[in-house]
Amino acid sequence: MSRPKTPYVAPEERAVPDLDSGKYLVMWQGPNHPGITGNMSLRLVIEGDSVVDCETHVGYLHRGFEKLMERRLWMQNFPLVCRIAVPEPDFNEYCYAAALEELAGIEVPDKAVWLRTLSLEMIRLASFLMWIGGQAGAFGHGTIAQWSVTMRDYVLDLFEELSGGRIYHMYIIPGGVRADVPPGFLRHVLETMTVVEQNLKDIELVMFHNAVMKMRAVGLGYIPPDWVDRYGITGPNARAAGFKRDLRKDRGYLAYPRLSFEPVVGAESDAFERARLRLAEMFQGIDLIRQIVDFLPSEGPFRERLPNPLHWKIPAGETYVAAECTRGEYGFYVVSDGGDKPRRVAVRGPSYTHAVSVMERLVRGVNIADVAGLMVSLHTYPPEIER
Amino acid sequence: MDIKDIIAPFAVWKRAFEKPFTVRKPIDERPGAPRYRGFHINDADTCVGCGTCESICMNKAIDLVPVEGRSPSGGDSGLRPRVDYGRCCWCALCVDICPSGSLGMSNEYLWIDSDPEVFRYVPGVDPKPWDGAELGYRRAEGYRLLDMERVPMPELSHAEGVKSFLELVKGYSREQAEREADRCVACGVCVASCPAHMDIPGYINAVRGGDLETGLRLLYETNPFPEACGRICTRACESACAIGSGGDPVAIRWLKRYIADQVELADYGKSLPRAESATGRKVAVVGAGPGGLSAAYYLALLGHKVTVFEKDEAPGGMLRYGIPEYRLPYPALDKDVDYIRSLGVEIRHGATVGKDPALAKLREDFDAVYLSTGLPSAYRLDVPGDEHPRVLDGVAVLAAATRGEELGLGRRVAVVGGGNVAMDAARTALRRGCEVDIVYRRRQVDMPADPEEIREAKAEGARLIERAIPLRVEDSGDGGARFVWNEAEMVQKEPGKRPVPEPIPGAVVTERYDSIIAAIGQGPELSYITEADGVEVRRMKPVTDRTGRTSVPTVFAGGDLVNEKKDAISAIADGHRAARAIDRILGGRGD
Amino acid sequence: MGYATFGEVLEFAIGRENAAVDFYRELSGIAAFAAQKSTLAEFIAMERGHAAMLEAMKARGTVKLSASTAVDLGAARRVEATDRPPAGMTFQDILTAAASKEARSFELYGRLAREAGDPGIRETFERLAGEESRHRAYFQDLYEREVARDN
């Protein structure tokens, strides 16, 4: 495409607009705005229809999870952590459980490893399906959102069947998982994957071979590759800038070393490239789910017996466990002082970087109509910013 | 720009006429998945109200509340969980942890009401349309948050055990004790069921934390016989244990024993309270059994001078003379008694109250008297011929065994009765090389003995003859006795009551034995109370108020003599209660 | 042997209750210690109560007693009519004697009911038998709870 990349303004070169000059308009986008993907605000300074300055404002969604966890027993935090990133609860569950298991020296049964992997890949697909609807909607394609949210609901149906919950699955419990797959579940998974794959092909056709989408997304929100390490950009945002980084490969946790896949890498690093890359990851996710269904052991325990959760004490120590979520590196830093409650938990959500510092810098010079599309192209979830 | 980019978006039209995924409520039904975590259900009859659901709930959405028609009883707090859907997060940890398995969730997820109050209700008690729902979240097969299996206790094998009077139960190691203690959910249902209301969750917590000094202090708060009770307690607590509602109850008795075994007597003083300064008041205790010594201990702690009058040559009462040493070794009992003595309690042996000294003399010389004389004599078989010399008294046999006397039981022995005395007599006879038949009127399930003792007696080789109604004892002419009984069948004569053995006409059995040990029940010895003492006795029991006080204000009574349960822990509880009441009449605060 | 009138029947029954009072009194005379005496005193008071109740019924002319028979628990019934507990009698001895005595009354009234020609007299005996069976059950129950706990 011929359209130039959004001009890059280095932080130190940040222009300070003179608000008293009458040239500018201060406009708040959020905290309730579909383009924000959650409760968060952008304070935009506008000149004409271009953004000249932006400040990100968070604090609308602060629930103090990390502090709450210090007052709850190790096991009582299990139903709490899933709420930190609402659309992808399972990554919280996994990271928390894995951190505890590492500190307490617990080996998780193989079956639980596979079921955890299945659960994470299913939620990755569901989360991407919600994102793609938002991304298309931000550029004026409400129809695609209707399709993709339907597909996401089909995946949530699977979660309902597996775990008993649609949004908060609370399935990955320290020690393993809470239940084996119900009868007929794997067949339902495969059937659903066929439907979702077909729909994704339709979405690919109408969204990525689309003049409006291309005109608005190509070149929007260009992330220079040297930002990636400077800002700690991870996940598809980094891969679209040409970095072959994927924790599933790099850290090799759960059953990923036993699955065959290659991280998808892009080069253009703009909104369109990121969208295309995520679409490719969705197809890849469907393939991974099919592989997992093939590999899933039919026999064996799904949970290691743990001490009584009311008295469970974990030996003093600290650990950091990370997993590759849809947005990048999702991690839990957990400290135990040997007691029955965590001494400290810190959650590392990729949205913190992407939605606060990166967004502030990317948005300068962007047309206000594209701010929402840009925000969505970074794929951020404000709930995980405010733990 | 490609021409395809202009045309392709029109492909969206192909879906315009497809059936939507949305559900048209209320026209279409969309039931939750079979595992759906919907509204709570609770089988209120299975539920024991232990409140473990309340403990695990991270939202404090569950409160245990009293409900109509349920009152506390052994093993049931009488409370039921109330769920507040303003707080609940539907995580179902309450379902996962529920010891009895009574909690579940229906797959119902729609509930619309304009009154916010209704969303706080007691499942299983407040009727709801989803009560008894087949579908909905249940704990998965093979998944438990709690360990429902008891840590096995190392014991001598039956073949080994029956050869000697060595203690059978070896006791937990530290690792085993801590693992067993971990199973406790600290619900406290047991505390209410314990006659002495021991702080069971407290001392189990001390075991778990390795803090045995605190554990010992908690034991002695209500029970100065931890070594003995840690071995032979009737453990109503374990029957009440909430974990027992869905698995093996926590081995509360063994954990108590673990604490007492681990702390040396010399170190007891470090964790136990010292006696208060002397009050100058004197109390006499009649009977050095667990009840009398318990009263003595707590009275001594309160600063009173206690003298215990005991007819036998050693202290402990039935703990020593009624319970064989393979269940309660004498050194363990001595440890308990020695600690009580170390507080200045004087025990006068060979002093039979009534003969010397008289009760009247004690009332005169002491500020208060505690009667704890128990049930020392066995009742007769109550059949013709029961005065035959080969018909022995079970209590006397056990006492003779304690004294190390030759029992002269012969080869074949019948023990008549189904209580713990019968089992102890049978197992003592087995250890003396006899062939033992236990003859019981009803069935094994009706036996009042501890099921564990029945099982062990049988495993050690005793033959159990059930449904045998004794008819008479005849002389066999060769130094033995012929025992004649009638086989019986159990007849349910009144609904709701236990069935009655009814003789089968003609089914009479005669067996020759060298000895027949009668263990059908024991009675009190009350001849020491004279009319002049003025202690009111009704149906061979001194009449007492709740504190153990008799009709004479300075005379108290307790233990087997008075209470219904007739076990060591109830006697200990009576002793403690009476000690506090005595302290009050002697001018103390009674605590 | 026959009892012609309602009054005669009750007079006979009252006589038996009074005989029971005498029986316990006699036992009380040989009782060795206070606890035995107070237990027997309790039973005496009970029998006196029965006698008074029958007196009142005789005065009113109707018997207000249920004819249904209480369950025989089979315990404590070996003492023959002539047996007397020994001086050093235990609670067991006293209860056995009491239960046997009530059982004998029950059997006697039952027999008299069967022999009675007049339906009214028969009914009166049946009701008296029912009452005695309940007394028997009371002592048997006491025996099972207090004496033969392990049996």
Contacts of C71 in chain B (CB under 8 A): 493-494, 500
Is residue A5 in some structural domain?
no
CB-nearest partner of A164 from B11, B92, B208:
B92
Please report the pLDDT score of residue C24 as a whole number.
87
CATH superfamily of this structure's domain B158-271: Alpha-helical ferredoxin (1.10.1060.10)
CA dist B282 and C144 (Å) reads: 39
Residues A69, A53 share a domain: no
- CATH tag for B25-145 (out of 3.40.50.300, 3.40.630.30, 3.30.70.3270, 3.20.20.70): 3.30.70.3270
Would an 8 Å CB–CB cutoff place B39 in contact with chain A? no
Dihedral sign, CA of B429, B435, B438, B443? Answer: positive
B101 and chain C in contact, CB less than 8 A: no
Per the domain annotation, does A211 fall within a domain? Answer: yes
Name every residue whose Cβ is closer than 8 Å to that of residue B512 and which is 6 or more positions away in sequence: B412, B476, B480, B481, B482, B483
> Do A83 and A32 belong together in one domain?
no
The pLDDT of residue A5 is 54
Pairing of strands B305-310, B346-349: parallel
* A179 and A43 housed in the same domain: no
Cα of B245 to nearest chain C Cα, Å = 27
Tell me: do A43 and A144 sit in the same domain: no
* pLDDT for position C103: 86
Angstrom distance (rounded) from CA C58 to CA C66: 16
The token pair that represents B515 in the structure block: 């000895």
Could you tell me the CATH superfamily of domain B378-522?
FAD/NAD(P)-binding domain (3.50.50.60)
Q: Is residue C13 part of a domain?
A: yes
Q: Mean pLDDT over residues B516-530, rounded?
A: 91
C-beta atoms of B418 and C150 within 8 A:
yes
Residue of higher predicted confidence among C113 and A90: A90
The residue of A172, A188, A218, A310 whose CB has the most chain B CBs within 10 angstroms, and thus the best one to mutate to test that interface, is A310
Whether A contacts B, i.e. 3 or more CB pairs less than 8 A apart, is yes
pLDDT of residue C74: 66
Chain B residues 127-156 with CB within 8 Å of chain A: 137, 140-147
Smallest CA–CA distance, residue C98 to chain B, in Å, is: 13
C34, B379: Cβ pair inside 8 Å? no
Residue contact C147–B523, C-beta within 8 A:
yes
Residues A23 and A71 in one domain: no
What are the tens digits of pLDDT across the range B13-63?
A: 888 888 777 788 778 888 899 999 999 999 999 999 999 999 999 999 999
How many other CB atoms sit within 10 Å of the CB of residue B362?
A: 25
Q: Are residues A47 and A172 in the same domain?
A: no
Residue A162 lies in a domain: yes
Q: Where are the domains of chain B?
A: 25-145, 158-271, 282-375+536-585, 378-522
Q: Which of A69, A178, A200, A312 to mutate to test the interface with B (most CBs of B within 10 A)?
A: A178
Pairs of CB atoms within 8 A across A/B: 115
Tell me, what's the pLDDT at C121?
Answer: 84
Q: Give the integer Cα–Cα distance in Å for C16 and C23.
A: 10
Q: Which pLDDT band holds residue A360 (cuts at 50, 70, 90)?
A: confident
User: pLDDT per residue over A260-293, tens digit each?
Assistant: 999 999 998 999 999 999 999 999 999 999 999 9
B473 is written with which tokens?
């004892």
CATH code for position A128 = 1.10.645.10
Best mutation target, B373, B379, B494, to test chain C (most C CBs within 10 A): B379
Q: What is the pLDDT of residue C76?
A: 56
Mean pLDDT, range A11-30, rounded to an integer: 78
Residue keyed to tokens 């027999």: C111
Inter-chain CB proximity B377 and C147 less than 8 Å: no
| Cβ pair B537:C38 closer than 8 A | yes
Question: Which residues on B lie below 8 Å from C74 (Cβ)?
Answer: 469, 500-503
Beta bridge partners of A322: A331
Average pLDDT over residues B325-331: 94
Alpha helices per DSSP H over C31-75:
34-60
| CA distance readout (Å), B21 to A185, B154, B303, B491, B505 | 20, 62, 81, 65, 77
The total of structural domains in chain C comes to 1
Strand partners, B511: B483
Q: Which range (A316-320, B72-76, B100-104, B109-113) has the least confidence?
A: B72-76
In which domain, by residue range, is A140 found?
Answer: 65-385
Name the residue among A373, A371, A368, A332 with its Cα closest to residue A349. A332
Please report whether residue A4 resides in a domain. no
Domain range for residue C89?
6-147
Taking only the tens place, the pLDDT of each residue in B357-375 is 899 999 999 999 999 999 9
Q: How confident is the model at residue B75 (pLDDT cuts 50, 70, 90)?
A: confident
Which residues of A89-186 form beta strands (DSSP E)?
172-173, 176-177
Contact residues, chain A, for B32 at CB < 8 Å: 160
Task: Tally the domains of chain A.
Answer: 2
Cis peptide, bond prior to residue B451, ω within 30 of zero: no
The b/e string for B68-78 (b: 16+ C-beta within 10 A; e otherwise) is: eebeeeebbbb
Q: What is the mean pLDDT of chain B?
A: 92
Q: DSSP letters along B371-420, please? A: E-----EEPP--STTTTSTTEEEHHHHHHHHHTT------SEEEEE-SSH
Whether C150 sits inside 8 A of B521 (CB atoms) is yes
**Residue A88 sits in the same domain as residue A38:** no
What is the model's pLDDT at position A1? 43
Does the pLDDT at position B445 exceed 60? yes
- Judged by CB atoms closer than 8 Å, whether chains meet at A162 and B35 is answered as yes
> Which fold, B282-375+536-585?
FAD/NAD(P)-binding domain (3.50.50)
What would the mean pLDDT of B96-111 be, rounded to a whole number? 93
Interface chains of chain B (3 or more CB pairs under 8 Å): A, C
CA distances from A387 to A71, A168, A231, B337, C74 (A): 15, 17, 20, 59, 75
Of C38, C39, C149, Cβ closest to residue B521: C149
Q: Which of B11, B145, B186 has its CB closest to that of A309?
A: B145
Residue A90 lies in a domain: yes
pLDDT at B216 over 50: yes
ipTM of this predicted complex?
Answer: 0.89
* Confidence band of C1 (pLDDT split at 50, 70, 90): very low
Position A3 in a domain: no
Q: Matching CATH topology for B25-145 and B378-522?
A: no
**Mean of the per-residue pLDDT values of chain C:** 81
Find the range with the poorest average confidence among A276-280, B138-142, B455-459, C101-105.
C101-105
